Structure 1
Amino acid sequence: MKVAVFGGSGYLGELVAERCDSRGHQVVALSRNPGRGTWEHRRCDLTAPGLGMDENTREVVAESDVCVFAAGSVSWQATSTESLQIHDRGIAALLRLVESAKRAPRIVHVSSILALGEPEKPVTSDQLYVGQRFRNWYEYGKYVAEHRVRHSNTQHNIVRFGPLLGVGYDRTVPSTGDGLPAIFPLVLAGYPLPLTDGGRYPCYVGDVFGAAELVADMVEWTAHGRTITWFDPENPSLLEILSRVCLPFGKYPRVLKADVKRGEWLLRMAMRRIGTDSNLADYAHPWIEVHCGADLENAGAARCRKDYIQAMSAAMAGQVWPARIEARSVHA
């Protein structure tokens, strides 16, 4: 099949392109920056007029069998203009391009568990709007993008991921500029972290390799509007995640047990004082409850590798983690 991967040079997108290429698909990676794989690369910019594509590239997309929407890096500090340029107007322009093709490609849309914002009740994969509030423009942008895909005249399936960790294509690791990984430098530097219940609550992380494998599976599925939420079935707590990150560095996280909800304003002020994103305070307490056990069963082919968090941390430290990252079933 011909597969167009938008965001094909990103942490997840580049690995998706590699997984699809390894399965024998004809892959075209589209992004603002050239990728590193041997597959075809073309320029695309969701914030530019005409998506920054030349006419030949538009034809390549229109002739694809499947389009993977995986563009847009995580940025909690994005303004409304920056976020909506990509996740609203950019996605809308992509959908118009797909819908105008003579034989419209199927779509695999990579969404985020953050598209659910902060609801007041448990949420399942069948839901999107549940009266939730959104803590930053990135969350709202992901919500708008998924809403547009859901209500488009396309054949599509949607997958939501939580924070993705692990070692990606060519030993890449996630950026520590935003989201959960932004906490890692603070922990490794020895900063004490006040966390509700000492961080003993889940953050729905997943292995980027398993996530890419699942997207490659979905490329080969029949599209009928499914929405899947996928994460590590072990569902480690934030404390467990931070402990595994610290392990290759020979450290242990300094966690303070506190009711962060009551003093969240004080924590945000302290984070601003040390020069980090105050939005990280959102990880200092439980923020969502997701009910999606059936999703993990339906996505049984996708796996998380053993020690993927420690392997990522070792790569961050310039080390080679012992070869204990063989795949394991999500049902293990």
Structure 2
Amino acid sequence: MKALKHPMRSLLIGFIGLLVNTSLLAAPDMDWPKKPIVAILSFPAGGSTDVFARAVMAPLGEALGQSIVIENKPGAGGMIGLQAAAKATPDGYSIHFSALTNQVISQALFKNPPADLRKDFAPVALVGTVPHLIVINPGVPAKNLPELITFIKSKRGDFNYASQGNGSLSHLESTLFMQRIGATGTHIPYKGSSFALPDLIAGNTLMMFDSVTASLPHIQSGKLRPIAIAAAERSPLMPNVPTLGQDGMKQFDVENFYAVFVPKGVPPAIISKLEREIRKILTNPDFKARMATQGIHPQFANSEKLAEISTEEHNKWEKVVKSANIEVD
């Protein structure tokens, strides 16, 4: 019997040690957050990134018991906001709501990007997609894609087209579109949709690739005319508007991803908690229905899957940029 005494004591001590270690590992998760959190965005208020971020951050803040303050830092195709988020202290009080596809394109376009989603951040969760479309000023004599292409060619380069900024998805789509139809024009970059759309409505620019979310109110009011959706499927909000592929321009559909990241070094327990709460929000039927009315498609993927998607998007758009020989203005 005495021979069993020491093994049992060792087992008991080991078990107690395991409990202590487990509680210590869980401590950051249980103790966080104690103060408001800042969500850094790379695009201005009023655009799809801002609308989507606010829709997710409000219930996330409620779930965490702390408010989440939105900070819009637009410019340089999303690089200004990305750099600000990368430099934030990795304590869980700064998160980055990323226009993922936009930002991997910017990284491929800029020669020396100030930050890198894959190197400077830890992935938290994919949150969804927002399709883009071509919108034009209603004064343009075109009701569909073939008519728009004919009109653009008739201008012989004497026209302006808008984008959400140098190095943005909107910029790349416009450049590829002009290459495909054999036309040239003057690219006017803005710091996001909310700055570009007023000039498009005023007739200062001819067309733009923009998000369904940002353009929808202006389409509904008749201030903009939709031409074609740059996605694999039509938007339920505009069932009569064809995709670019359906109107004759094949292989021009884009999955425009959005995701949440944190600066590299944030404790794993905090990342896990964020991931869990975001999943609850995105899978809520009421939330999904509300987002659908704004052209947003909630789609959850965990941190591991998001890391894979980020790498895939980077590799995909780097090849597109190189093959098209596109440079930032």
Q: TM-score, normalization: structure 1?
A: 0.32
Larger RCO: 1 or 2 (CA < 8 Å, sep 6+): 2
Normalized per residue, which structure has more helix? 2
The higher radius of gyration belongs to: 2
